[in-house]
Amino acid sequence: MFRCGIAYPRCRWILPVLVLFAIIFDIIAIAASSGWVEDEGAKSHYASMWEQCRGRNDNWECKSLMENSWAQAVAALMIIGLIILIIAFIISCIGLCCTLNLPLMYVVATLMIIVVILQVIALIIYPIKFNELIFEGHYYYTWAYGFGWGATILSIGCAILFCCLPNYEDELTGIGKTKYLYSSG
């Protein structure tokens, strides 16, 4: 006999882990020194969130992007988003892992939505302003920039799940009867 159902008590552990992955992705995006942007052909120019470098092999000339107000805004938005994400992780661990405190889930969902708004703004400002700053050649955005979007997408999903989770209080506590999606036999 085969049964397929949703084990809601597992959500108590999976959701904080997903928030932790969003934190890790954010840290990778913020701290990546290899850059968010690289030129397409010659590999002679790259830029991270903090600086841009030109050159070849071991001869690189780097210039800080923090002289530009847009780069400061991007850095501030990403760092504030990371701090709020860490706070949301701590609250989600308290609300789900220690004891089941469902009203805290709405707080976590609100924090996650704020993170999404801040990071979407930062991740849109960066390519627009970078392209205005640099005119020549073709550039592509690297894995480090992708980790920023990955953290944002995880935050969107977690915000939705944290909003919906309080509707399943009985299932989370184990009081509710298991609802099977599929049962054979």
Q: At what angle do helices 143-164 and 103-133 cross, to 10 degrees?
A: 160
**Residues 61-86: what's their mean pLDDT?**
92
Query: To which residue do tokens 């001869």 refer?
Result: 59
Q: Within a domain: residue 28?
A: yes
Q: What is the pLDDT of residue 88?
A: 95
CA distance 58 to 129: 28
Question: What is the pLDDT, as a whole number, of residue 33?
Answer: 67
Structural domain contains residue 41: no
Q: Which of 81-90, 105-114, 175-184 has the lowest mean pLDDT?
A: 175-184
How many independent structural domains does the chain possess?
1
Q: What is the pLDDT of residue 127?
A: 85
Residue 85 sits in which domain range? 10-36+69-132+142-175
Answer whether residue 44 is part of any domain: no
What's the whole-model pTM score? 0.84
| Pairing mode of beta strands 51-56, 59-64 | antiparallel
Tokens of 163: 């909003």
